[in-house]
Amino acid sequence: MAVDRVLPGQPILIPKGPAPLLGNGVYSRDGTVRASLLGVPRNQGSTLTITRITPRAPVPNSIVLGSVTRLTPIQAMVAITVVDGVPLPLGEEFTGVIRAQDVRSTEKDKVKIGDCFRGGDVVKGLVISLGDARSYYITTARNDLGVVFATSEAGATMEPVSWQEMRCPKTGRTEKRKCAKPEGV
Amino acid sequence: MSTFDRRRINGPEESYPPLFEDGHDVGDAYANWKVGEPRQRRSAGDVRPIFMKPGLINQANGSAYVETEKTKLVCAVYGPRQSRNTAYSERGRLNVEVKFTPFSCTKRRAPIRDAEDRSVAVQIHQAILPSVRLELLPKSTVDVFITIIENDGLESCYASGAVAASAALADAGIEMLGLVTSCSSSMVGKEIWLDPTEREISLAKGSLVLACMPALGIVTSVWQSGEVKPVEAIECMEACQERCADIHAIVSEALLANAKVI
């Protein structure tokens, strides 16, 4: 079947039956469903969307990857480089913040930022809010969220040994991190 | 001189494009023209042929090149990127910047931002702003950079600039309500000449540029200068709107052809 691309503003024909939910790239105006992106409209379940793989800004519930740039006793700053699996163009990072209370879901008051992240760590997180003017608020309070890549003091790539420890293969020493549960374990 | 630019190699102040003896430039068709005579080289309602190529600049998220005879411009869209140095805003920001190349006009233009760049930028911003769904881009900025390579009248820069910007935004995958197209017109004597060149503007008593979204039937911006009666202005707008639909067809075709390649 030939792909039917639509242009922004073009009405999309909705087959009879239950009206679909409108997802990305579609909008409704004066009772007509129209496209707002150039692409092929598809039904994903009951949602009608037009997907384009383009870099986009984080929104609440986006899964982001970023590297830790700065640590303070109350929060860690993260330069977000990947949003929902789509890398952002170089030099166009968004800044995110992991506050101490958002690191994990238990014993929130005992969190020490320095024992959870270090500068340069690559962190996987979930955007919980648009935050303030400067940054997005990110949480790592889930098993699959946290540090996914870190180098030890000796300079080797460490491997996670528990949810709050990583081991250096060179020296065998462990360092404290809030680790993300590796996929497929 | 206060506007001397130290960062660039400055060309001579008094520089003009070379004048070819014959054959190359057809000369001024309006040298012996008097008010009331018909338009030269095309009929009053005709627009110049438009060439459009989206996705020309591969570093940018989206881009478009538009050429209508002697009006040539290129538009690049970057973003959405995080707004810096601004207060929290629920809606995104659309930032339009226009630059004239030094060789774009008959007289050399110093590569410095001046009032003319900004007025073109404001005009294009106004034309495309209602089409972009900025409510979906909180805290972000979309940057639109337009470079005018060759200038043949500000009116056609406004019109082509808006068309190029809208096509580039569509190419960049930024959500919008519809494609914006724009057409310029001028009142010469009792006639309406569409898509006037710089020379034709100089003969006109007034001009009008209309931008609209033909898919939705929404007018986004109207710009008018000179002496135009309300009746004539409305006539101009109707003529422009009709042409905008034709331009929309060209833009859609160019965008779809480009989308197939990817």
Q: Could you tell me if the ipTM is greater than 0.95?
A: no
Position A1 scores a pLDDT of 37
Q: For tokens 């494609």, what's the residue?
A: B179
How far is Cα B72 from Cα B69, in angstroms, rounded to an integer? Answer: 7
Interface of chain A against chain B, CB under 8 Å? Answer: 5, 7-10, 24-25, 27, 29, 34, 36-39, 52, 54-57, 59, 89, 92-95, 130, 132-133, 136
Whichever domain contains B111, its CATH number is 3.30.230.70
In this prediction, residues B188-212 reach a mean pLDDT of 88
Is the CB of B79 inside 8 Å of chain A's CB atoms? yes
B63 is a domain residue = yes
Q: In sequence order, what DSSP letters do the residues of A137-175 get, joined into one string?
A: EEE--STT-EEEE-B-TTSPBPEEEETTEEE-TTT--EE
In a domain, B77, yes or no: yes
Is CATH 3.40.50.720 what the domain over A63-176 is classified as, yes or no?
Answer: no
Domain count, chain B: 1
B93 vs chain A: nearest CA distance in angstroms? 13
Give strand pairing partners of A166. A160, A175
User: For position B27, what pLDDT does the model report?
Assistant: 63
CATH architecture of A1-52: Beta Barrel (2.40)
Query: What is the structure's pLDDT at A2?
Result: 47
Chain region(s) in chain A for CATH 2.40.50.140: 63-176
Residue B21 lies in a domain: no
Listed residue (A62, A117, A16) closest to B139, CA to CA: A62
DSSP B72: E
Domain assignment of residue B178, given as a range: 51-261
Where in chain A do CATH 2.40.50.100 domains reside?
Answer: 1-52
Query: What count of residues does chain B have?
Result: 262
Confidence class for position B211, pLDDT limits 50, 70, 90 = very high
pLDDT along chain A (185 residues), means of 10: 75 80 85 86 82 81 93 93 86 89 88 90 92 89 91 89 90 90 83
- Per-residue pLDDT, B52: 92
Q: Give the Cα-Cα-Cα angle B230, B233, B235 (nearest 5 degrees).
A: 110
What span, in angstroms and rounded, lies between the C-alpha atoms of B202 and A91?
Answer: 45
Mean pLDDT of B36-40: 77
Q: Which of A38, A56, A94 sits opposite B255 (nearest CB)?
A: A38
Is residue B3 one of the residues assigned to a domain? no
Task: Indicate whether B164 pLDDT > 80.
Answer: yes
Give the relative orientation of helices B115-128 and B154-172 as an angle to the nearest 10 degrees: 50
